[in-house]
Structure 1
Amino acid sequence: MSEELLINVSPMESRVAIMNDGVLSEIYIERHNKMGLVGNIYLGTVVRVLPGMQAAFIDIGQSRTAFLHVNDMQKINRPAMNELSTIQQSNKPAPAIELSTPQVPLSDTQTNDNGLGQIKSIKQAFVNQQTNAFSQTAKPTEAKPTDISSTDKTLEEEVQDNDLSVQPNNLENGVAEASQPINLVNPNNLTIVDKPIRSLATVRESLTPEDKKPKPVRQPEPTPSHELIQNRLHEGQRILVQVTKDQLGTKGARLTTNISLPSRYLVYLPSSDHIGISQRIENEEERTRLKTELSEIMQAVDLSGGLIARTAAEHIQKNKLEEDIYYLVQLWRTIQARQKEANASQLSVLIYQELSLPLRAIRDLVHEQTERVVIDDAYMYDYLRQFAKEFVPMIYPRIVPHTSELALFDIHRVEEDLKDALKRRVDLKSGGYLIIDQTEAMTTIDVNTGSYVGGRSLEDTVYKTNLEATYSIARQLRLRNLGGIIILDFIDMQEQEHRDDVLSSLQMQLAQDYAKTNITQVSELGLVEMTRKRTRESLEQQLCEPCPTCEGKGFIKTAETVCFEIFREIVRCARTYNAPKQFTVVAHASVIDLLLTTEADTVADLEYLVGRVITFEVERLYTQEQYDIVLD
């Protein structure tokens, strides 16, 4: 499969399109006046601590307070626990846990056994350039006032699911989930939940007398007092946090205190002591080599913290890993310096801002299968070439400028695919189609045969339609960036073999997805329940807004329904007010037309009933549901 990256840059926004075999499979959009928050580091202020939710709301200068759950806070080490006990005895609030500072020589003239100080001068020049740009865009600034009223949200409204940041809590058996925002090229982390479908009668028959006896309820172990959020945070406390999920609708951003800093090959975790390897690196010898070399480097330079080797680190030489560590440590020290310089009077300070979308695309999205990266902006082309030459040298010769007079996205039909991605209906080549509905709670995808009639039997027609739908569903999930709970309503299939084939095809297609997915078996009704992680808004949420006419319902009252409402309102007004000599109905043109034609006889009967004249007036600014009755 050939892959290309198309980067479109304009004064208003930047867009990155991933093309697989000439077909748009994923799109990233970043508005310059509304930059994403994922990856940003803030020195925020605790606005409210909720013991019942074990969460806190943090002011980071956005329109809504951000959400921090106790599970997203770094674990307290033994010295900190002892200090916390002393504080609790004195009834004082606990201080914020400070992250450890790596002790790494940063001078170019310093050397060590691993040659860390012999980094070429262009590396230092680029780091200085990034530091200068960083100081211009991410210097401590007082952020916008925050709507404190958002802290009144319930747990169900505020808890953000599917955290995609790389955190120490996600590391198991030396394996790291290198996912957004740290690694957009996620590991192959598809999980299949095997849930065989059994009838209730079968379950009852299989129960033994021992099974029917009531089992004692296991009481959950009480949470240690030092881990409770009310003993770790207090209102007004300043705390260093990182955004792991953007604001979604009315929900504020999700935060963590487990800071993670990505580079091309590595992720640095200042508050962890773990060395992890991306799951996409499957070769055991390569995994062992990376873990050994990273351990040696950390010991040689006395580096505290943890590291994760990203997928791009496979077969990368040791000196390149050393350079990445050098860059990450410099970045972390800059962040710590800015934290100390922050003005104590400011409620929230932006300490570090993540790279722009084009740079993140080069850092996170390119891999060995990427054939070329096409850019339609001359300035960004030069800048990305310089960035790639230093951090992604393998892709440097593949970065090419767009020279045609036609727009880059028009040539590759990206604009047309974007328009289609906002439609509710997706047509299949066979004649079938999908209906995609996105709601607050979940997304549903319904599969229909449409005009496809098949040739052999109904079962064969349904089977082929469902099989074709799995390819389109997987593409639409990525293209529209649909996340959360997703229900797939396949057409009912009678044969179990066909169900298994459809599920296997869906698994195969979802395995190419960057986001982590979990799916269940096909039920007897043809339903598949699945979840997909998300850290940013869906394409529809990013590009669209609720309809002002229907207020997002997707439906409005018919003209006939509005006419009947007008009749009832006239009768109500006639009984309430005796003074008016006539009624004037002001409404939309379609409603007035219906009143003067189809409902003319009803209007005459109503005039006779109320004993008053009824006149009509068209208001072009009214929607079909709007009307007024003027008493003259």
Structure 2
Amino acid sequence: MKQMLVHCHDDTVQMALIEDGKLVEYAAERSRQQSIVGSFYLGKVVNVLPGMQAAFVDIGLKKNAFLYVDDVLHPHLEKQPKPKPSISELLHVGQEVMVQVMKDARGGKGPRITTHYSLPGRCTVYMPTADYVAVSKKIQSEGERDRLRMIGERLKMGEEGFIMRTVAEDEPEQTILNDLEYLREEWEMIQSKASRAAAPALLHRDLGILQRFIRDMFDPDSDELIIDDEAKGAEAAVYLKDRVNEGEPNVQLYRDAMPLFQRYGVDEQLKMRFSRKIMLPEGVAVVIDHTEAMTVVDVNTARFIGGDNFEETVLRANLLAAEEIAGLLRLRDIGGIIMIDFIDMDREEHRQQVTAAIEKVMAKDRSKSYIVGWTKLGLLEMTRKKARESVLLLSYKPCPACGGRGVVEG
């Protein structure tokens, strides 16, 4: 059973997902800094750069959005022209184009946008122009994958496409159809608004953090949803009733004098697992450093005394660290390039065991990750997709004395 905790304070909403007493996912959002990922805009092309195969589009924000040529071509790879055309053949300055935000603006960069539209529901991700049906890789049963694929082909209309999400596993066809019809109606409303709007204009804002968490992670049959704000509790109940359609939603309003996150041990776990150095109970240390280009993770034995011999000790330490690191990537929502410096292992089979340990935990992660492999220097290289701003930025700011370098001038 999972517990979804929602803590509201001033203009900030914090979400914590607890599994068997352990904090596995955390997110926070301020109302004035709400993410625009997933939102639709009618934009106007302001610059086309053939040398970069990209265009800049005004969607009404402070910074123009970036549109790469691959995100203008047909979303189905088999229907894309070969060779790839120049961006100047597809777009021109002054052209109006409907786009969807893929990544929030970061630093000096504007948001990343696409014309590969998608609307996520509970059971499906609806893609109105994709023209294919896919099934989540996290569904392991081949029989179930075939069943869902056949349902998808039956329900597919014209050029539309969709992905069967993990939640669709074992769901009846009617439940999937209900989800799909809701998304079709949503798409029609977006198109209708676009036909009447003048660029730049917001056409559709994606769900807030509370609804996204409920949609993607909450099982009304078995999970607990506990909220310490009456207004947000009512909001969650309405959303559950309209979208999940499972009878009366079980939303618990927390009224205890002790703060919600303190009662369930979230504050303590956040402090420990968002530190630069994380000590595992067994004595293994994991150190995480963030650079502009990548995240670097170092593993050392610290106080771990291990097994009967050196190789066994190293393997056990690395396996413990691998499981913790995979969980930390999800919890801290670390994205981009990730380099992990495990304790050196001489045997290939031991490296494979460590890789398998990370993959097993990452299979529960909603964000896509890809393990590239071991470098010649013995580092494990991987990537993890990330679209929204780091939750760390809500709680921490760069030191004004050292500019965020983590040192003090002598």
Question: Is the TM-score greater than 0.5?
Answer: yes
The corresponding residue for 1:309 is 164
Q: Cα 1:168–1:5, aligned 2, differ >3 Å: closer, same or farther?
A: farther
The gaps in structure 1 that reach 5 residues or longer are 76-166, 172-220, 559-632
Q: Is the 8 A contact 2:63 2:110 kept in 1?
A: yes
Q: Cα 1:505–1:415, aligned 2, differ >3 Å: closer, same or farther?
A: same
The corresponding residue for 1:238 is 96
Q: Cα 1:223–1:378, aligned 2, differ >3 Å: closer, same or farther?
A: same
Relative to the length of structure 2, the TM-score reads 0.90
Specify which of 260, 269, 282 is matched with residue 417 of structure 1.
269
Verify: 1:29 aligned to 2:35, yes or no.
Answer: no
The corresponding residue for 2:18 is 19
| Number of equivalent positions | 409
Q: Cα 1:28–1:287, aligned 2, differ >3 Å: closer, same or farther?
A: same
The corresponding residue for 1:223 is 83
Q: Secondary structure at the match of 2:178?
A: helix
The corresponding residue for 1:279 is 137
Q: Is the 8 A contact 2:67 2:114 kept in 1?
A: yes
Query: C-alpha distance in 1, partners of 2:274/2:78?
Result: 34
Q: Is the 8 A contact 2:42 2:97 kept in 1?
A: yes
Q: Letter of the aligned partner of 1:420 in structure 2?
A: M
Q: Cα 1:45–1:403, aligned 2, differ >3 Å: closer, same or farther?
A: same
Written as runs of structure 1 = structure 2, the 5 A alignment for 1:386-535 is 386-394=238-246, 397-454=249-306, 456-522=308-374, 525-535=377-387
Q: Secondary structure at the match of 1:6?
A: strand
Query: C-alpha distance in 2, partners of 1:295/1:454?
Result: 53
Q: Cα 1:289–1:494, aligned 2, differ >3 Å: closer, same or farther?
A: closer
Note the aligned Cα RMSD (angstroms). 2.6
The corresponding residue for 2:3 is 4
Q: Letter of the aligned partner of 1:441 in structure 2?
A: A
Query: C-alpha distance in 2, partners of 1:320/1:60?
Result: 36
The corresponding residue for 1:256 is 114
Q: Is the 8 A contact 1:372 1:395 kept in 2?
A: no
Q: Letter of the aligned partner of 1:500 in structure 2?
A: Q
TM-fit CA distance, 1:469: 1.0
String of CA shifts for 1:134-175, please: whole Å, max 9, x gaps: xxxxxxxxxxxxxxxxxxxxxxxxxxxxxxxxx54499xxxx
Q: Cα 1:394–1:285, aligned 2, differ >3 Å: closer, same or farther?
A: farther
Q: Letter of the aligned partner of 2:241 in structure 1?
A: K
Q: Letter of the aligned partner of 2:183 in structure 1?
A: L
Q: Letter of the aligned partner of 2:99 in structure 1?
A: V
TM-fit CA distance, 1:447: 0.9
Q: Is the 8 A contact 1:3 1:20 kept in 2?
A: yes
The corresponding residue for 2:178 is 323
Q: Secondary structure at the match of 2:17?
A: strand
Verify: 1:60 aligned to 2:68, yes or no.
Answer: no
String of CA shifts for 1:477-524, please: whole Å, max 9, x gaps: 111111111111111234444333333322322222222222244456
Q: Is the 8 A contact 2:41 2:59 kept in 1?
A: yes
TM-fit CA distance, 1:268: 2.2
Query: C-alpha distance in 2, partners of 1:351/1:397?
Result: 30
The gaps in structure 2 that reach 5 residues or longer are none
TM-fit CA distance, 1:257: 0.7
Q: Letter of the aligned partner of 1:515 in structure 2?
A: S
Moved more, 518-527 or 236-245: 518-527
Q: Letter of the aligned partner of 1:437 in structure 2?
A: D
Query: C-alpha distance in 2, partners of 1:365/1:509?
Result: 16
Q: Cα 1:262–1:555, aligned 2, differ >3 Å: closer, same or farther?
A: same
Written as runs of structure 1 = structure 2, the 5 A alignment for 1:80-479 is 168-169=76-77, 223=83, 227-298=85-156, 304-343=159-198, 347-367=199-219, 371-394=223-246, 397-454=249-306, 456-479=308-331
Q: Letter of the aligned partner of 2:329 in structure 1?
A: L
The corresponding residue for 1:41 is 40
Query: C-alpha distance in 2, partners of 1:297/1:500?
Result: 41
Q: Is the 8 A contact 1:245 1:535 kept in 2?
A: yes
Relative to the length of structure 1, the TM-score reads 0.60
Structure with a larger share of its residues in strand = 2
Q: Is the 8 A contact 1:7 1:16 kept in 2?
A: yes
The structure with the larger Rg is 1
Q: Is the 8 A contact 2:44 2:58 kept in 1?
A: yes
Q: Secondary structure at the match of 1:33?
A: helix
Q: Is the 8 A contact 1:45 1:59 kept in 2?
A: yes
Counting aligned pairs with the same residue, the percent is 38
Q: Letter of the aligned partner of 2:391 in structure 1?
A: L
Query: C-alpha distance in 1, partners of 2:237/2:57?
Result: 38
Written as runs of structure 1 = structure 2, the 5 A alignment for 1:72-87 is 72-75=71-74
Verify: 1:537 aligned to 2:386, yes or no.
Answer: no
TM-fit CA distance, 1:527: 1.6
Q: Is the 8 A contact 1:40 1:354 kept in 2?
A: yes
Q: Letter of the aligned partner of 1:241 in structure 2?
A: V
TM-fit CA distance, 1:312: 2.2
TM-fit CA distance, 1:406: 1.5
Q: Cα 1:370–1:252, aligned 2, differ >3 Å: closer, same or farther?
A: farther
TM-fit CA distance, 1:63: 2.5
TM-fit CA distance, 1:309: 2.5
Q: Is the 8 A contact 1:485 1:530 kept in 2?
A: yes
Q: Secondary structure at the match of 2:223?
A: strand
TM-fit CA distance, 1:434: 1.5
Query: C-alpha distance in 1, partners of 2:9/2:37?
Result: 22
Q: Secondary structure at the match of 2:55?
A: strand
The corresponding residue for 1:599 is none
Q: Letter of the aligned partner of 1:434 in structure 2?
A: V
The corresponding residue for 1:149 is none
TM-fit CA distance, 1:474: 1.1
Q: Letter of the aligned partner of 2:114 in structure 1?
A: T
TM-fit CA distance, 1:387: 2.1
Q: Is the 8 A contact 2:372 2:383 kept in 1?
A: no
Q: Secondary structure at the match of 1:350?
A: strand
Query: C-alpha distance in 2, partners of 1:222/1:286?
Result: 35
Q: Cα 1:430–1:50, aligned 2, differ >3 Å: closer, same or farther?
A: same
TM-fit CA distance, 1:449: 1.7
TM-fit CA distance, 1:356: 1.3
Q: Letter of the aligned partner of 1:442 in structure 2?
A: M
